[in-house]
Structure formats: structure tokens, C-alpha cells
Amino acid sequence: MELSVLNIKGEDTGKKVTLSDSIFGIVPNDHVIYLGVKQYLANLRQGTHKAKERSENAGSTRKLGKQKGGGGARRGDIKSPVLVGGGRIFGPQPRDYSFKLNKKTKVLARKGALSYKAQENAIIVVEDFTFEAPKTKEYLKFTSNLKVSDKKTVLVLSESNNNVYLSARNVPNSSVINATELNTYKIMDAKTVIFTESALANIQNTLNA
């Protein structure tokens, strides 16, 4: 599959790039993509939730009422879970939500996500560029020239560019990442994926390795 390379004005430069069929032309495996997205979101979770159980609640251990004949549920002290302010039974405890995925599985997930975007014609390739200074106005003009200002986009750069990153930071539904940070979630979450020429070359070299 061939794509035209555009400049930041949205004009065709006359150059073409070929998208590798082994990355952008495979039959996507939906379950593998799901696992890639699930792992990314799970790794973002702090897992610091905590509720006090019966033994951790403050309060007297004095038995409040007799065992039988009260007409209600059996209960012991004021920390009983059946009482307001009592401990919680099997409450959430701090835990680590992250889990392992094999390297080949993660690579296959990214390939499947990129293949979906290729099928939807939702990939744009632009010349490598930079801004002289961080200006949101310049980035808005850039997305408008590419006719994606109304879509959720992710711009993939080959290396960190602070001026471009800061220019896009306040633009809703726009994000800028390095090629090494591109993951299945970022691809699937965006309506359009914008690659610079060098970033596309990096991605194809990495995923074909």
C-alpha cells in the first residue's frame, strides 16, 4: 500500500511511502488487540484502593446485645459489618493490576491495530518538521491543513520534539508521542494516526525485526 507524503501545509510533496504488508496489511486478531489494550490500561491503575475491615476499625469490642431474641441479625461489637460505620467484609485491598504479555503478542496487537487504521484510510504521512517555538496556533493550523481538526489524532514523531509537544498539549483530542511509545491503545483510541516519515521508518524497522 502506497501513501503520498504531505507537508505541514497539507500539500502533496510528490514523494511516496510504501506501507509494509506484514504490518499494515495483516488480518487483525481482535482478541490479541483486546489484550494489548487491557494490559496498557491495567498498567495505568495505581491499585491503592483500601477499605477498613472489621479488625482495622476503631471501636469497643463490647457485645452490644444478647445473642438471641433481639429480633434482628446476630451481631457482636460496634465494628460489626451489619452496623453503620462497621468494617467492610472483603473490602478492596491494595494490589498490582499489571500483567505480563509476551513480546510477540504485543507486536501482533500493534500490527493488527495499524492494519485496522490502514483499512479505514486513517493513516497520514507528513514530512519531518518542527516549530520554531511552542505555539498552539501553529499546531491548530497544521491539523486544519490536514483536514483532521475535528478528529481525535495521535502524531507519531521519531524523537522528542519539545516545541511540537508543547504546541499540541492544549489542543483537545490531540496527542504527540515518540515512535518508541506507540502502543495498541494509542492507535485504537485515535481516529487518525499521523506519522512523520522518519517515525514511520522506525516503526516498520521495529515491528519487522
State which residues form the domain around 57.
Answer: 49-96
Asked if residues 174 and 153 have their Cβ atoms less than 8 Å apart, the reply is yes
| Alpha helix (H) residue ranges in 57-208 | 103-119, 136-145, 162-168, 184-189, 197-207
Are 90 and 41 within one domain? no
Asked if residues 147 and 10 have their Cβ atoms less than 8 Å apart, the reply is yes
Are 90 and 113 within one domain? no
Are 69 and 26 within one domain? no
Are 38 and 122 within one domain? yes
Cβ neighbours for 4, distance < 8 A, ≥ 6 positions apart: 12, 13, 14, 15, 16, 125
Are 55 and 116 within one domain? no
Are 41 and 53 within one domain? no
CATH at residue 203:
3.40.1370.10
The residues with which 157 forms a beta bridge, in sequence order, are 178
Length of the chain: 209
Burial of residue 166, with CB atoms counted within 10 A of its CB: 0-12 exposed, 13-18 middle, 19 or more buried: middle
Task: Count up the domains in the chain and report the number.
Answer: 2
Are 59 and 31 within one domain? no
pLDDT in tens, 4-48: 999 989 898 889 999 999 999 999 999 999 999 999 999 999 999
Are 59 and 129 within one domain? no
DSSP 3-47: EEEE-TTS-EEEEEEEPPHHHHSS---HHHHHHHHHHHHHHH---
The predicted structure's pLDDT at residue 65:
87
- Poorest-confidence range of 21-25, 63-67, 198-202? 63-67
Are 200 and 109 within one domain? yes
CA angle 204, 115, 105 (to 5 degrees): 75
Are 55 and 33 within one domain? no
pLDDT confidence band for 191 (50 / 70 / 90): very high
pLDDT confidence band for 74 (50 / 70 / 90): confident
Is residue 209 over pLDDT 80? no
State the DSSP code for 55: G
Is residue 75 over pLDDT 90? no
Are 110 and 186 within one domain? yes
Are 89 and 105 within one domain? no
pLDDT in tens, 79-97: 999 889 899 999 999 999 9
- CA torsion, ordered 69, 70, 74, 78, to nearest 10 deg: -140
